Structure 1
Amino acid sequence: MTEIVNLICNKADPAWVQSVVSSEPSMWLETKAGLQRIKDQKDPRIYVSHLLIQLFPRSFFNSKAKCIYIMRNPRDVITSSYHFWKMVKIIREPESFEEYSEWFLQGNVLYGLWFDHVHNWLQMKGKENFLVISYEELQQDIQASVETLSHFLGKKLSPEELNAVLKNVSFKTMKDNKMSNCSLSPDIFMDQIKGFMRKGIIGDWKSHFTVAQSEAFDKIYQEKMAGLAQDLFPWE
């Protein structure tokens, strides 16, 4: 999503994604370095965050800033973040997939309980400056998703610019691009042998969850997501 938004806002210039680390113009709001960089930037500013809505800056909700909220099947979130935790060196590594799944379902992970995060942010759905999109939508129809995003951001792309965005945000292109694949991150933070970009697919949870784990997760999911329209979520 970071790559897509940055490309849209830079007229899909392919030279840009080959020369600027993708995190540079879209810093993490909740980091000290990111906050300072955002303060120093000129408008329009782009920033990224995993924060719960109640921890988000109050000034945002009275501003004209636009927010794109991206969701993903929580089963795939567990799977992806399990591998991420095993790659990142500055956080405790889980001993097994089962252990990490327990942490996730208890909210004992960075940014807390996934169910609370989604419940709270979806209270913004329907507001003019808020767009909800899913990882699954990006995978299933990337062109329609990019067109939706560019319209939301008020940026009209020419056919050539649209094609350039689509080309540069493919998994293969990003995985081969050192400005996008986190290979420039210091070794003290990440195990570069394991790599940051793994598969970039949907449904990989099926190769990790046992039948018992899947059934236990489904029970918790139904309890936690009760009251929300299930057509909000494009996953089974």
Structure 2
Amino acid sequence: MARLDQTETFAGLALPAHLHTQESLRAAAAFPFRPSDVLLATYPKSGTTWMQQILTLIYSKGDPEPAETLPNWVRVPWLEHTIFKETLQETEGPRLLTTHLPWQVLAAALRKAKPKVIYVARNPKDVAVSFYHFYRMANFFPDPGTFDDFLLHFLDGTVHYGSWFKHVKGWLSCQKEMDIFYITYEELHQDLRGCLERLGAFLGYPLQPSQVEAIQKHSSFASMRENSMVNYALVPREVMDPSKSPFMRKGTVGDWKNHFTWQQSALFDKVYQQEMDGCSLTFQGLTD
């Protein structure tokens, strides 16, 4: 498989060369957004696949047909991936797009058109655990080593896609100038119905109760885990190997407690307090 063992560097970020090239990254940074576009922005393993499914179902008014016949990377394609030009659906209506890129890379392009942006954040301890397992199963990442090794790299921002702290703070910094809907993975778990109603209102797609129920059903973890258009079963095993770790692993809140030692948790809390001092975003279950 092409460039599985290589890394691409762009704007100070290390990125999997299997998915990105300098050309695709420059194109993403200069993408001509439209005001009608909807951009989903996340740090990896923060609920991206879940929100891609939710957005698909909101725009289909709960009809599962698109979510069951088209892969999520076609329905809500990644702006920075090499296959973006092939997967972008050129329609007159809203184009649904995804990015893992930080705000500073896309800021100039976004300011020109000011599309709607949805930013999903997740308890970073759970992100670290999920990202570690993703590193293990995705062969376009380097060997993560032990979880302790990986956690130290996560905390100092030397994992692929860069610092979680900088990513979250960057996207929070533009809330006064951009039309952004901020939501956490934990909120989605706690009150999915309420989140769907708020999302529908934000997008200008108010949902009927029956549509909300359908979206809840088809965006459940159990449903997505069995859906080959969502669970990455279509990706060759040479690229993503589910025998090492399934892509749809647990989808829970607080799994970090099954992985962290108290020393790791204490170190993480110290770094978090230093990095996120004054940040308005809070996360359920961040501490014991």
Q: TM-score range by the shorter chain?
A: over 0.9
Deviation sequence 1:173-195 (CA, Å, 0-9, x none): 00011111111111121003232
Q: Give the structure-1-normalised TM-score.
A: 0.94
Q: For residue 73 of structure 1, what is the aligned residue in structure 2?
A: 123
Q: For residue 162 of structure 1, what is the aligned residue in structure 2?
A: 212
Q: Give the CA deviation at 1:127.
A: 4.9
- Give the Cα–Cα distance (whole angstroms) in 1 for the partners of residues 113 and 279 of structure 2: 27
**Conservation of the 8 A alpha-carbon contact between 1:183 and 1:195:** no
Q: For residue 145 of structure 1, what is the aligned residue in structure 2?
A: 195
> What secondary structure does 1:156 align onto?
coil
Superposed CA RMSD: 1.5
- Point out the structure with the larger helix share: 1
Q: For residue 185 of structure 2, what is the aligned residue in structure 1?
A: 135
Distance change (3 Å), C-alpha of 1:69 and 1:190 = same
* Structure 1: gaps spanning 5 or more residues: none
Q: Give the CA deviation at 1:35.
A: 4.3
Deviation sequence 1:144-193 (CA, Å, 0-9, x none): 11111111111022221111100000000000111111111111210032
Q: For residue 226 of structure 2, what is the aligned residue in structure 1?
A: 176
> What secondary structure does 1:67 align onto?
strand
- Give the Cα–Cα distance (whole angstroms) in 2 for the partners of residues 25 and 15 of structure 1: 12
Q: Which gives a bigger RCO, structure 1 or 2 (Cα 8 Å, sep 6+)? A: 1
Q: How does 1:82-231 map to 2 (within 5 A)?
A: 82-127=132-177, 129-193=179-243, 194-229=245-280
- Give the Cα–Cα distance (whole angstroms) in 1 for the partners of residues 109 and 266 of structure 2: 42
* Structure 2: gaps spanning 5 or more residues: 1-50
**Conservation of the 8 A alpha-carbon contact between 2:119 and 2:180:** yes
**Conservation of the 8 A alpha-carbon contact between 1:27 and 1:35:** no
Q: Give the CA deviation at 1:119.
A: 1.0
- Give the Cα–Cα distance (whole angstroms) in 1 for the partners of residues 85 and 271 of structure 2: 36
Superposition misfits of 4+ residues, deviation over 6 angstroms:
none
Q: Among all aligned residue pairs of Structure 1 and Structure 2, give the percentage whose two residues are the same amino acid.
A: 39
The number of residue pairs the alignment matches comes to 233
Q: Give the CA deviation at 1:22.
A: 1.7
Distance change (3 Å), C-alpha of 1:90 and 1:128 = closer
After TM superposition, the structure 1 stretch with the greater mean CA deviation from structure 2, 187-196 or 66-75, is: 187-196
Counterpart residue identity of residue 258, structure 2:
S
Q: Give the structure-2-normalised TM-score.
A: 0.77
> What secondary structure does 2:167 align onto?
helix
Q: Give the CA deviation at 1:125.
A: 2.4
